[in-house]
Structure 1
């Protein structure tokens, strides 16, 4: 993962908004880096389809055996890979099922899990906010809301993060995730307990569609929420001026989270779209069957299009959600509300209890996970006044008292 995305993508964009790249295993693709070009690809589902069965490399059997990115491009029976009426049907069922997760229940679950995690390290005066907070919190919350038993939560989290990280272990992690989800769906079909699995089944989805819709919800939900939370925590720990503004009320956590969506978007690359005909995209000739990797990370940092004066004032303006962190078009993320509540609740709870946190090693550069899909610090060591934090914790009302 690159250390300075703005510099890296700026150099790529100097060669055009659409540049040829090779993915792991020397697999050719086009990386779409310009804001306007990304928007066109995401919004034009006829010319740039999500049906990866039309990808020429796949169709001709040229993908390397054991390719670590295979799970992310393997056609599945969920809304991510569907088009037209099929996509509409699957997306409608998914959104209706998510809507049954009450906001109060979600916020209460986030706060309860956050407090449990913070309680485990608050008296130490230091922690790695990635491994001890940003990774376990979204996974634990979503696993509870989706009805997975407590003993499966850690395994579920590890499988998702390993899958997103790529490498040789990704395919094994994919198998573990599929097994856990398959067991869960069969369990719910038998016991009829009310959670998202049974709601999807009740909406008319087949068992296969339910399994693969849950795969999408867990993989995308845990991965993107973890990255968003970790990058927001990193900004808080790194930027003293931001912490001062938060304490004085000049900034609020949602504004910090929005800035992260622009500058360190959780989902870096969307793999992908396939050209359904020979087409010219931003001056580049793309052939029918070519794979395009859309880069929200690059698009959001396209200073020629957004924040060209270098200040990013336009991007950071309150209410500006024109970033591509949620995608765009028919396949735009349907769970932005849930993700926002989850991440905001986790970050606000951390800030409420540890508002003097700061980087333990401020002079050391941040190390990033190797994933090309999500941007997550490999570690985020922070410190705080343990005595002050412990004293403050005793004054906070328990969750049930709110």
Structure 2
């Protein structure tokens, strides 16, 4: 079957449910009639993500071992090439090289304390909310969920304000794809390269300076490119999807306002029901392997459906599922094994801080048209609304602002 379905985007639970009769692995074809395995079972996804069995590596992130690509059989204009073409960064590295790059990145994150990071997030959130609060309505995706992580990351990596403006323009354009994506990527590359050179000359207490203490300049540039793009796409979707849940579900809003259900619990529910990264392309089998009664051949590509894994029927039917996944962190949104997300606390802070401040300042926020279904982006990789219009009472928000603790930009 082709891995391109409007139902996958609009009704993921029904779509993946219809596939489960084939088992935890389903043979699919990507655009251009490129064959692959779609891994939809939670346990199967976990095993592939871990990569090894009894100390033997069976599934690798090194897509250079993908048989079709190695034999030159991919279409020359294949639209998914940017998602699978190996790059020299920690995402595609393996073994000792991966450990070296990952360790340098994790060490660099310590250059910014948790307290300073949270202060930056709160300040950026207030600046964005200030830009639309008097309007009483906005598209929460383009005005908040996407620009917030971009602006926060620009400060964490130490970009000066004039360079940060370029990042806020280039990154969303790059992530959206289309005819302007290549130009946006070139702009982003130039901005990162210039910033790395700047920090080589004048180090500061930021992530870029931390990277340069352990990596060469080009390695630092590639690491920043990967970290910013991966972080923005995932955290933007996580913020937007959590806001969709809160704005549409009155009981969830009441629980959050009353304190009976903390925001992290709602965020965790989103990682189960609408995980930001839906499909990971992917892993390659390093040998012929029997995976849950399906024979996968050496060189085969496996696409990990984190969305399907989160919706696996092993967690119960519609009645039992909510209690089974509440406070349950065995979802696979962070990945597993060597390539598990290396920036979980930082990503969680961005999402939690952004949502918390939004609901503190606009506590009556609600969807503008409850009868209008959420319009999801057509991407099969990242789940995020194409737009999400919300409304609130501006007078109430202004009055409320005077009772809230300032972030540094409020008085």
- Distance in 2 (CA, whole Å) between partners of 1:227 and 1:327 is 16
- Distance in 2 (CA, whole Å) between partners of 1:6 and 1:309 is 11
User: Which of 250, 259, 267 is the matching residue for 1:249?
Assistant: 259
1:160, CA displacement in angstroms?
Answer: 3.4
Report 1:3-402 matches (<5 A). Answer: 3-45=10-52, 46-203=57-214, 205-303=215-313, 305-308=314-317, 310-318=319-327, 320-400=328-408
Kept in 1: contact 2:112–2:205 (CA 8 A): no
Change over 3 Å in CA distance of 1:171–1:23 after alignment to 2: farther
SS at match of 1:76: coil
- Distance in 1 (CA, whole Å) between partners of 2:315 and 2:333 is 14
1:164, CA displacement in angstroms?
Answer: 3.5
- Distance in 2 (CA, whole Å) between partners of 1:292 and 1:212 is 25
- Distance in 2 (CA, whole Å) between partners of 1:209 and 1:380 is 37
SS at match of 1:334: coil
Q: Deviations over 1:319-359 (max 9, x none)?
A: x2100000011111011100111110000000001111111
- Distance in 2 (CA, whole Å) between partners of 1:64 and 1:76 is 19
- Distance in 1 (CA, whole Å) between partners of 2:38 and 2:170 is 27
Change over 3 Å in CA distance of 1:216–1:341 after alignment to 2: same
Change over 3 Å in CA distance of 1:18–1:172 after alignment to 2: farther
Pairwise CA RMSD: 1.9
Kept in 2: contact 1:164–1:373 (CA 8 A): no
SS at match of 2:198: helix
Moved more, 346-355 or 2-11: 2-11
SS at match of 1:25: coil
Aligned pair count reads: 399
Change over 3 Å in CA distance of 1:285–1:102 after alignment to 2: same
1:262, CA displacement in angstroms?
Answer: 0.7
Moved more, 77-86 or 381-390: 77-86
Kept in 2: contact 1:306–1:314 (CA 8 A): no
Give ranges in structure 1 of 5+ residues lacking alignment.
Answer: none
Structure-2-length-normalised TM-score: 0.92
SS at match of 1:179: helix
Structure-1-length-normalised TM-score: 0.94
1:29, CA displacement in angstroms?
Answer: 1.7
Change over 3 Å in CA distance of 1:57–1:154 after alignment to 2: farther
Moved more, 119-128 or 324-333: 119-128
